[in-house]
Amino acid sequence: MASMRFYLFFGFSLYSCIFAAKPESYAALFSFGDSLADTGNTLLSLNGGSSPTGRLPYGETFFHRPTGRFSNGRLVVDFFAQALGVPLLPPYLSTLDGGDDFSKGVNFAVGGATALDSSYFISKGFEQHWTNYSLGVQLEWFHQLLPSLCKPYSDCKEFMKKSMFLVGEIGGNDCNFAFFQGKSTEEVKAFVPSIINTIMKAASEFINEGVETLVIPGNLPIGCSTAYLTMFQTQDKQEYDPDTGCLKRFNDFAIYYNSKLQDAIQVMRQKFPHATTIYADYYNAALRFFKSPEAFGLAKETVHSACCGVGDRYNFNFNRMCGTSGVTACSDPASYISWDGMHLTETAYKFITASLLSGEFTDPPLRLSDHPCPEPDFHIHGCLSSI
């Protein structure tokens, strides 16, 4: 009963945190990235083709219908939009039918997107089976749309100055695809500089357009991912972190990647001192779920399992994924971290967003409200729970 009271208290706390933000703080929100932020571009890009995200149980929790999001409900970008007081971001590809209002922001993220162009991977001998909508393509979309957002066009820099840009998470798929094709840690580390340089180049272009607030997230603890735990499971107990049950070598890689990203962000700050470039620590914000799941109202026994899936140890199978025939979702997604083995549940995204909005896991601290979220009398700090 005590844990339930804790969970409900945090529910009220996050609700207050998200909706305490001043709507006038930012005029618009723009998002770039992959499936962690995609609000429908993948689905729209298929022109009527099939995608699991176009079918239930995707979207069942909040929207009660599939929206093209790779989750059962809202994503980090959705909670950011609510915090800023702007509508949930329409996907860029919906501009083709002219049915959405883009004056408050647009989402350019596409599921499967990489930071590097597909040509880079092909030149390195990779089998290229994922989307071609890289960060470079998303950047082109932004430049194509920009003149229509500012009327007259001369006002664009002022509009950009009042907007927030979420640049990522992007770059994670560059590493995921390499690991899943059997590349070693050292091989993947070799092209981390190219990934980060691509992200920083995009950020520089945004700043040159007038943007003064950018949030650049790091990688999640991929060694805790259901997909990684399934593909690389081993009987060697030394491979696992005893505190989290996650694969140490992949989390160590994520730490390495994030350190290089933070170094690059520091250089960006020196180059563009008038802009605020914020690092969002997805890694540590999420790692706590695996260290202390009960503190977040999550089920310890299913901390590494997918809610929607089939399989043995982790309820995940690459050949029978969520959204395909015969694959069902759990009855209580709010008690799970992983939604479909590759992506998180709405609950997990809420916790991550709340910890970012509190300023605890952003550098410099990101505080969108004059009234900070209440800190509970507990070892977890900040505004951290479900609505």
Fill in the amino acid letter for 93: L
* From 340, 355, 369, 386, the catalytic residue: 340
Write the Ramachandran bin of 296: left for phi over 0, alpha for psi from -120 to 50, otherwise beta.
Answer: alpha
* Integer CA distances (angstroms), 176 to 112, 127, 172, 192, 213, in order: 10, 13, 6, 12, 28
Instruction: Identify the active-site residue in 78, 134, 174, 343.
Output: 343
343 is a catalytic site residue? yes
pLDDT at 99: 60
pLDDT at residue number 368 = 65
Instruction: Quickly list DSSP for 25-48.
Output: G-SEEEEE-STTT-SSHHHHHTTT
Is residue 340 annotated as part of the catalytic site, yes or no?
A: yes
**pLDDT for position 50:** 79
The whole-angstrom distance between residue 202's C-alpha and the CA centroid of its chain comes to 17
Q: What is the pLDDT of residue 67?
A: 96
Predicted pLDDT at 12: 38
Note the pLDDT of residue 22.
42
**In this predicted structure, what is the pLDDT of residue 154?**
78
Residue 28, judged by CB atoms within 10 A of its CB (0-12, 13-18, 19+), counts as buried
CA–CA gap between residue 307 and residue 313 (Å, rounded)? 13
pLDDT at 49: 67
Per the listing, tokens 């994922």 go with 130
Establish whether 51 is a catalytic residue.
Answer: no
Residues lower than pLDDT 70 in the chain: 1-24, 48-49, 97-100, 128-130, 367-387
pLDDT tens by residue, 112-142: 999 999 889 888 888 766 678 999 999 999 9
Q: Which one from 35, 163, 225, 386 is the annotated catalytic residue?
A: 35
Q: Tell which residue, 165, 139, 203, has the closest CA to residue 86.
A: 165
Q: Which DSSP letter does residue 134 get?
A: -
Domain positions in the chain are 2-363
pLDDT score at 128: 65
Distance of CA 8 to the CA centre of its chain: 25
CATH code of the region 2-363 = 3.40.50.1110
Q: State pTM to two decimals.
A: 0.89
